[in-house]
Amino acid sequence: MIIEVGQVAVVTGAAQGLGRALAAGLIDRGVSVVLADIATERLQTTAEAFTARGARVLPVITDVSDAAAVNTLASRTVEYFGRVDMVVNNAGIGGGGGPLWQSDPQDWQRVLGVNLLGVVHGIQAFVPHLVRTGAGHVVNIASIAGLAVMPFGSSYCASKHAVVAISETLRRELEMLELPIGVTVACPGYVRTPLVEGLATLVEADDDAWTEHLPAELSKEQREQVRATLKRGIATVMEPEVAAERILAAVEADQLYALTHGDFDDRIRHRAEGILAALDGQGRSGDHVETTDDK
């Protein structure tokens, strides 16, 4: 998709972090942006900052886990700007923290409600508008956790894997129906956001404070191993503006996958190679015999 002056984009989770950076990148390209977020004060501050730059923005308080709220967001977008060309389903939250078998069902509902259903609601509310106009792009923000798992983050990893899967599905469906609408799923690593800043503070905390945030079953050596792994990840932290530019470049190149961080290539490659090895073990090189009813 060519991003150009006169278009209208919707960005959820736009009040701060990567969402705000994506909105700023679109504004720099002459796009009018609907800013959606659940944080009222931060959203208003962000909207005022963009307006002061001469941008055309519309802030809309939106809980993406609520399908009706996202439908209202779509209606307000079209009513206010008369069109919509891109939806960026960016809103997300963290979750997890313990072994999968001890995870809290309410945590699963909360994380999936925002991270997964929030994206589904965005697709269902906005893609019909794109289909009617015969153009546009859907951008879903997943995570590196959508391609490579991390221990003690089961609900978060599951939600981000699901975002990757529905993005792949959506792109395939649009292709089959010959609808010229693009889909990009972004899988960034560590981006400088309040969530990551908090994590950076935590891994530098004293042993007692650090231990409180980890499963009690872990030994001291295992706790330090987790701390070291997180420190290595945080050392690769990327400014949100850099990640946003890489994602928007992937949109303009009509790429399905936007992998902003090269630091995690090995984790993704290891998973992919394991899947390919399993396929090879099943004889994908020629052992499969197709059957037919023709005689």
Residues facing 138 on adjacent strands? 87, 183
Catalytic residues: 156
Distance CA 164, CA 168 (A): 6
The overall longest dimension of the chain from CA atoms, in Å, is 74
Who contacts 15 (Cβ-Cβ below 8 Å, separation ≥6)?
Answer: 35, 37, 39, 42, 43, 45, 46
Distance CA 230, CA 100 (A): 19
Which pair of structure tokens corresponds to residue 71?
């439908």
The dihedral formed by the CA atoms of 120, 126, 128 and 134, expressed in degrees to the nearest 10: -120
Return the half-sphere exposure (C-beta side, CA atoms, 13 A cut-off) of residue 195: 12
Burial (CB count <10 Å: 0-12, 13-18, 19+), residue 242: middle
Q: Check if the beta carbon of residue 64 is closer than 8 Å to that of residue 121.
A: yes
Sequence letter at residue 268: I
- What are phi and psi for residue 92, nearest 5 degrees? -165, 160
Who contacts 180 (Cβ-Cβ below 8 Å, separation ≥6)?
Answer: 134, 135
Considering Cα of 45, then 47, then 48, then 52, what sign does the dihedral take? positive
Which pair of structure tokens corresponds to residue 87?
């939806």
